[in-house]
């Protein structure tokens, strides 16, 4: 909550400094499980006493498309407009934040006047916890467990598991068919860095939720982690 509040304060400050006032600089959208895109409209008004021109709208990734009031970029005092963002959700799930930087006239490249946040809540039908299991180089090769849990009210079966690397072996345990599974992962070699992608295949009716991915990593611990060890 502190992080969200902090983002809101920064955005609110930028909006005030820019002369454009947005009714909701952080826009929350609830997407359906089968939806492929989500759309948010950011309404704004020029509250200053001078014309304001939007020179550029810069999304954080290619998955975000932007439209500004039919192409209108200059706003006289008191004029209003809308910035529409459309998020191509792909295989995203959970809560996803996408930022949009708005540059006005004379803004330096490194400092946009306004940053908008599109926060999309996408249903998680198959949850992995954790999504990444980690071991330290030359450490113990103890098995670690990835819990696979199906959303309440759904029945989705894990049909297959594949690993991209022979460094890791795995065992799938069925705790409750169509509801709960444990994926137990064990590294076979501990003397070198390694990474494996675990592809978890299900019979989910919605294609974009059908395949889930988890990761197994053998890595060198950071200096801070090493210092913290007794």
Q: Are residues 178 and 223 in the same domain?
A: yes
DSSP code of residue 7: H
Last residue of a domain, one of 99, 122, 145: 122
How far the first Cα of the chain sits from its last, in Å, is 33
Q: Are residues 152 and 204 in the same domain?
A: yes
53 plus 102 within the same structural domain: yes
pTM, entire model = 0.76
- Please tell me whether residues 51 and 34 are part of one structural domain: yes
Structural contact between residues 126 and 146, judged by C-beta atoms closer than 8 angstroms: no
Structure tokens at 121: 């809540």
* Residues with Cβ within 8 Å of residue 2, at least 6 apart in sequence: none
Both 88 and 131 in a single domain? no
3-state class of 69 per DSSP? helix
pLDDT, tens digit only, all 230 positions of the chain: 333 334 444 444 444 446 889 999 999 999 999 999 999 999 999 999 999 999 999 998 899 999 999 899 999 999 999 999 999 998 888 999 999 999 998 888 888 989 999 999 999 999 999 999 999 999 999 999 999 999 999 999 999 999 999 999 999 999 999 999 999 999 999 999 999 999 999 999 999 999 999 999 999 887 666 655 66
Task: Please tell me whether residues 76 and 107 are part of one structural domain.
Answer: yes
- One domain, residues 190 and 221: yes
Q: Are residues 114 and 166 in the same domain?
A: no
Question: What beta strand segments (E) does the chain contain?
Answer: 20-22, 26-30, 37-46, 52-59, 64-68, 74-75, 80-88, 94-104, 114-122, 126-129, 132-136, 144-150, 158-163, 168-176, 180-187, 194-202, 211-219
Instruction: Judge if 141 and 116 occupy the same domain.
Output: no
Q: Are the C-beta atoms of residues 145 and 131 closer than 8 Å to each other? A: no
189/217 same-domain check: yes
Q: Which of 81, 97, 122 is the last residue of a domain?
A: 122
Final residue before a domain boundary, out of 102, 122, 142 = 122
What's the domain range around 115?
2-122
Domain count for the chain, please give it. Answer: 2
For residue 155 the two structure tokens come to 């029945």
What's the CATH number where 171 sits?
2.60.40.10
């Amino acid at each position: 909550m502190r992080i969200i509040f902090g983002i809101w304060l920064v955005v609110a400050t930028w909006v005030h400094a820019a002369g454009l006032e947005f009714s909701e600089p952080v826009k929350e959208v609830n997407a359906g499980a089968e939806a492929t895109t989500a759309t948010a409209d950011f309404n704004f008004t020029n509250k200053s006493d001078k014309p304001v021109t939007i020179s550029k709208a810069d999304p954080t990734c290619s998955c975000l498309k932007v439209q500004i009031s039919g192409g209108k970029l200059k706003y006289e005092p008191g004029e209003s407009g809308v910035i529409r963002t459309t998020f191509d959700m792909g295989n995203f799930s959970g809560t996803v934040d996408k930022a949009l930087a708005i540059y006005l006239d004379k803004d330096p490249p490194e400092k946009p006047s306004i940053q908008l946040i599109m926060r999309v809540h996408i249903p998680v039908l198959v949850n992995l916890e954790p999504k990444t299991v980690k071991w330290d180089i030359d450490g113990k090769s103890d098995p670690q467990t990835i819990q696979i849990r199906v959303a309440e009210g759904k029945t989705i079966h894990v049909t297959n598991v594949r690993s991209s690397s022979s460094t890791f072996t795995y065992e799938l345990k069925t705790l409750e068919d169509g509801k709960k599974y444990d994926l137990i992962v064990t590294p076979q070699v501990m003397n070198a860095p390694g990474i494996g992608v675990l592809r978890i295949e299900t019979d989910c009716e919605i294609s974009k939720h059908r395949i889930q991915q988890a990761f197994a990593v053998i890595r060198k611990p950071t200096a801070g982690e090493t210092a913290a060890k007794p």
